[in-house]
Amino acid sequence: MKKKQIKKTVSSLTNRPPVVAVVGHIDHGKTTLLDKIRQSKIASREPGGITQHIGASQIEFKTKDGSLRKITFIDTPGHAAFTKMRARGVEATDLVVLVIAADAGIQEQTKESLDHIKAAGTPFLVAINKIDLASGNVDQVKEELVEIGATPEEYGGDLVVVSVSAKTGQGIDNLLEMICLMADLQSLKADSNAKLKGVVIESTLDRQRGPVATVLVKNGRVKLTDEIFAETVRAKVKAVRNWLGKLVSEALPGDAVEILGFEAVPPVGAAVAKKPQPIKAKKKDIDRKKTEEEKLKLVFKADTQGTLEAILNALPPDVKIIHAGVGQLTDSDVFLAQTTGAQIFVFNVKISLAAEKIITQGGVKVFQTKIIYEFLEEVEKRLVGELDPLVGVRVLGKAKVIAEFKIKGKRIAGARVSEGEVARGSKVYLMREEKIIGEGVANSMKQQRKDIDKAIKNQEFGVVFSPHLDFALGDVIISYRNGTTDKKGRTAPED
């Protein structure tokens, strides 16, 4: 009798390159800094010049002790991608470099970047750029950092600050040394033979090539002909291209590659694996919500610095300010509120067109007023829970989840309408114990295997949500349309 052979999985746990995002004010030189790093630190074995096909790049750096290290940089095109990743429970970056110009100091967008970094809980360091300019004042920038609660090491804090010039290259080696040092403190490990874990950092629909996604590999590997999933979007990998535009046979941990073969355009921030992945919140985010459940989180914009300070000083201690600033409400503010679960309050300021679009499409609630006492009264009401979580939207119908089905791997919620109607294509909230736990669209609806456009009171139906919502029996589906909330919390429909 032959002995049964047991297949052993060989672990190849090794250090992986840190993944670094570079953020900062639009004119402070973050793109120039990245370009300078790439030009001087491209791996010598790579042929040709920089072609930058995707929103990421990988450099090789020889440290002072003589070791050769790799660093993967993500070209974050703004806060949208950065916060969408966190909203989907994916840690895309290990470290963030916040770039501040020595001649301009801390600007409003710098503060926004810092608030996004803190909300994500990602380690960061500061690169003070443009030190080659005569008008630059590094010490002044460090003092401004202290004023906003980010204290450099030399001032008794724990913030690493490096002075650089993206123009001359001065200080860049020191910046890369500090990135490697901070990465070592995190003990970043990966196993190329383990289960695939990755994240979509860019995606688009190409007219010639179809859906294309840039995937950052965090663990395992991606090879040609592999079947992979970005959340629930399937791909049969047809091509893998590195950041220099070169076709490669596989991607390993720390690599960011362009992948062809997706059946649809996957969402930015989607988790990538060998099996379909429903959206899940990060454990530390769940823990954070538990410990700060009693606090009202706010993103707050005011018309003047004086008004801002007056309101901040008058707020009760149970309010947690995620971000506060002066000027119009921007799309960055709205993204930050969405990913942190904060409510948006604005005092006598306009809402940008980009922010208005997100508010309308995403069902975001914004409280607006020009009177301070009304602002404070509203805060008090929300603290004591006097306002319904559905204030700010027009409820069209409600249905209770009474069953669950699976067809071709898709979870289908069986529900019964309790009031109003639920229509195919309508925006929906998923509520559990009177709390909104997810939102999406009723993507398809069926009765007795037939497609339907809507279900009315007492009718039962099956529904598939887009994106996937992790429903459970007893949950309530709220069909709604957006409206506007006045100072008394009343809702006016869009139409």
Neighbours of 80 (CB within 10 A): 17
Tokens read off for 322: 């995620």
- Peptide bond just before 253 cis, omega within 30 deg: no
pLDDT of residue 56: 83
Q: Residue 464's closest CA among 400, 404, 390, 393?
A: 404
Please tell me the distance from the alpha carbon of residue 256 to that of residue 240, in angstroms, as a whole number: 10
Distances (CA, A) of 288 to 89, 114, 120, 297, 429: 13, 19, 11, 12, 22
First to last CA, the chain: 78
Over the chain, what HEC string results? CCCCCCCCCCCCEEECCCEEEEEECCCCCHHHHHHHHHHHHCCCCCCCCCCCCCCEEEEEEECCCCCEEEEEEECCCCHHHHHHHHHCCCCCCCEEEEEEECCCCCCHHHHHHHHHHHHHCCCEEEEEECCCCCCCCHHHHHHHHHHCCCCEHHHCCCECEEECCCCCCCCHHHHHHHHHHHHHHHCCEEECCCCCEEEEEEEEEECCCEEEEEEEEEECCEECCCEEEECCEEEEEEEEECCCCCECCEECCCCEEEEEEECCCCCCCCEEECCCCCCCCCHHHHHHHHHCCCCEEEEEEECCHHHHHHHHHHCCCCEEEEEEEECCECHHHHHHHHHHCCEEEEECCCECHHHHHHHHHHCCCEEEECCHHHHHHHHHHHHCCCCCCCCCEEEEEEEEEEEEEEECCEEEEEEEEEEEEEECCCEEEEEECCEEEEEEEEEEEEECCEECCEEECCCEEEEEEECCCCCCCCCEEEEEEEEEECCCCCEEECC
Please tell me the distance from the alpha carbon of residue 342 to that of residue 295, in angstroms, as a whole number: 10
Regions of the chain short of the pLDDT cut 70? 1-11, 40-54, 76-91, 278-294, 362-363, 384-392, 482-495
pLDDT of residue 491: 41
pLDDT of residue 51: 39
Please tell me the distance from the alpha carbon of residue 366 to that of residue 377, in angstroms, as a whole number: 15
pTM, two decimals, is 0.63
Bridge-based pairing state of the strands 256-262 and 233-241:
antiparallel
Please tell me the distance from the alpha carbon of residue 314 to that of residue 127, in angstroms, as a whole number: 35
Q: Which residue has the tokens 């294509």?
A: 425
pLDDT of residue 169: 92
How many angstroms from the chain centroid is the CA of residue 247? Answer: 28
Q: Residue 365's closest CA among 397, 388, 386, 383?
A: 388
- Cα dihedral sign for 40, 46, 47, 52? negative
Is 421 in contact with 455 (CB distance < 8 Å)?
yes
Is 301 in contact with 326 (CB distance < 8 Å)?
yes
pLDDT of residue 282: 47
Is 311 in contact with 347 (CB distance < 8 Å)?
yes
Q: Residue 239's closest CA among 249, 229, 227, 231?
A: 249
**Per DSSP, what are the bridge partners of residue 465?**
442
pLDDT of residue 140: 96
pLDDT of residue 435: 78
